[in-house]
Each structure stands twice: as C-alpha cells, then as structure tokens.
Amino acid sequence: MMNIPVTIISMLLFFVLFFGIGFLVNMLLRMSWGVAIAYLPIISIFFVGKVRVFEYFTNSKAAFLDLGHRYSTLGTADVLILSSGLAGAIGAGITIKLLRKNGYQMF
C-alpha cells in the first residue's frame, strides 16, 4: 500500500517519462501512435509480469495465466500509475499530431 504523496509523484514521473519517450520515438520514427499502441501489450507486461519474457513463448499458458492473475490483483495506486503512463504516451501522440498539422518539421 502506497501513501498519497508517493502515488502522486509516481504518477507524475510515469506521465513525464512516457510523454518524453513517446515524443522522441514519434519524432524519430514518424509514427504518431507507436508508443501508445505498444504501451498496453508490451510495456505494461514488463511492469506487471514477473515471469521471464522467454517463458511467454515456451510456457505460454502458465505465463499468461500468471499475468492475468497479476492484472486482476493490481492495487488502485498501481492502476493509477500505469494509467498515467498511458496518458503520457497518448499525450505525446496528440502533441506530435498538432505539431505536424501546424507545419513543424522534425528532421
């Protein structure tokens, strides 16, 4: 159980972290929604799942059952923190779209 200041700081850090990563990746790869699309199936699995990535391919059933159990038992603070990271990735996509629409050229 996390206290409120730690949760708020973590939410802010995840938002800024994934906004920055999303902005840079979108700018370099010219894919506005790349990080936002990859966030749920890939990035959140790395944070929530405790099995090795290799096991998702070799022992898929057990690995995904464990992942489903871990997702279902997430605390409110964990859901808020992961959601703020997703919001940062979506915010980066929106920002890149607006910048490109207004004529800003990146590379």
Tokens of residue 92, six digits? 């980066």
* Mean pLDDT, rounded, for 80-102: 92
pLDDT digits (tens, 9 = 90+) for 14-72: 999 999 999 998 888 877 778 888 887 888 888 888 888 889 899 999 999 999 999 99
- The answer to whether the predicted template modeling score (pTM) of the entire model surpasses 0.75 is yes
**What ranges do the domains of the chain cover?**
4-101
Asked if 88 contacts 16 with a C-beta cutoff of 8 angstroms, the reply is: yes
Quick check: 105 pLDDT over 80?
Answer: no
Contacts of 93 (CB under 8 A, 6+ apart): 22, 26, 32, 33, 35, 36
For range 67-82, the mean pLDDT: 92
Q: How many Å is the maximal CA-CA distance in the chain? A: 49
- Which whole number is the average pLDDT over 86-90? 94
Q: State residue 1's pLDDT score.
A: 65
Nearest Cα to 22, choosing from 77, 99, 103?
99
